[in-house]
Amino acid sequence: MQQSPTLDRIRASGVLRVGTTGDYTPFSLLRADGTYAGADIDMAHDLAATIGVRLEFVPTVWVDLLDDFLSHRFDIAMGGVTVNPPRAEKAFFSIPTFVDGKRPLARREDGERFISVAAIDQPGVRVIANPGSANEAFARANFTRADLTIHHDNASVFLEIVAGRADVMVTDGLEADHQAALHPELCAVPVVAPFTRLEKAYMFARDPALKSFIDDWLGAAFASGAWRAALDRAMSAHG
């Protein structure tokens, strides 16, 4: 097998540094006690064990994710990272862990109101998004007539809708479903089809041997059911 300079360095250092935002359930959540939970957090533990090193989580935020990676603050980004052209130009991605699409999240009473981009993009509709994310990019590109607010705390952005200070957020479908399960006041709007198609994956150095290693490890996790089990655990966790 081809040698991976990245894996060699990780093994020599004895630690796998995983960059994660900790604000994106069910993939990555920073808990009040300072520990992390989520499907990709479980997978990070498994990856470190597979490599044979200890695990260290490095906090990052979406707007700085790529810059932090390019500054060598961490070895791999995990936690619901979307594959997009700017990231793919500078880094490699694993095979997708999840294929998803943007869908609206709103209060239950508005569940039949916001069923299309056109229905959302109306004067007086209060759209909310988190900064530096694919959600912000989608909102800015598609909602020119609605009132758009960028809320700077991804962990509490959904509570703005619950509290009635915002009407709707367009986010990844899995997150919409998860937040609707966590908050009975909310619903994932039953759109005919997602507004976009996107892939979630793990982001790391442009090292072909490392990509082969991670894809093989991830493929085995798919085949054994370990990834699905991690996702199901995270989806059923409340709070």
Distance of CA 162 to the CA centre of its chain: 21
Domain ranges of the chain: 5-98+198-236, 102-188
pLDDT band (50, 70, 90) for residue 9: very high
pLDDT given at position 2? 80
pLDDT given at position 132? 77
Q: Does 24 or 166 have the greater pLDDT score? A: 166
What mean pLDDT, rounded, does the chain reach?
A: 95
pTM, two decimals, is 0.82
pLDDT given at position 155? 78
pLDDT given at position 84? 92
Q: Are the CB atoms for 114 and 191 separated by under 8 Å?
A: no
pLDDT given at position 133? 75
Q: Does 239 or 179 have the greater pLDDT score? A: 179
Q: Tell me the C-alpha distance between 177 and 155, whole Å.
A: 15
102-148 pLDDT, tens per residue? 999 999 999 999 999 999 999 999 999 998 778 999 999 999 999 99
- CATH superfamily ID and name for 102-188: Periplasmic binding protein-like II (3.40.190.10)
pLDDT given at position 237? 77
pLDDT given at position 154? 79
Residue 239 has pLDDT above 60, yes or no: no
pLDDT given at position 134? 83
Q: Does 215 or 155 have the greater pLDDT score? A: 215
Residue 236 has pLDDT above 90, yes or no: no
pLDDT band (50, 70, 90) for residue 49: very high
Q: Do domains 5-98+198-236 and 102-188 have the same CATH topology?
A: yes
185-234 pLDDT, tens per residue? 999 999 999 999 999 999 999 999 999 999 999 999 999 999 999 999 99
Amino acid at 31: R
Percentage of the chain exceeding pLDDT 90: 90
Average pLDDT over residues 160-189: 95
Write out the CATH class of domain 5-98+198-236. alpha beta
Residue 238 has pLDDT above 60, yes or no: no
pLDDT given at position 116? 97
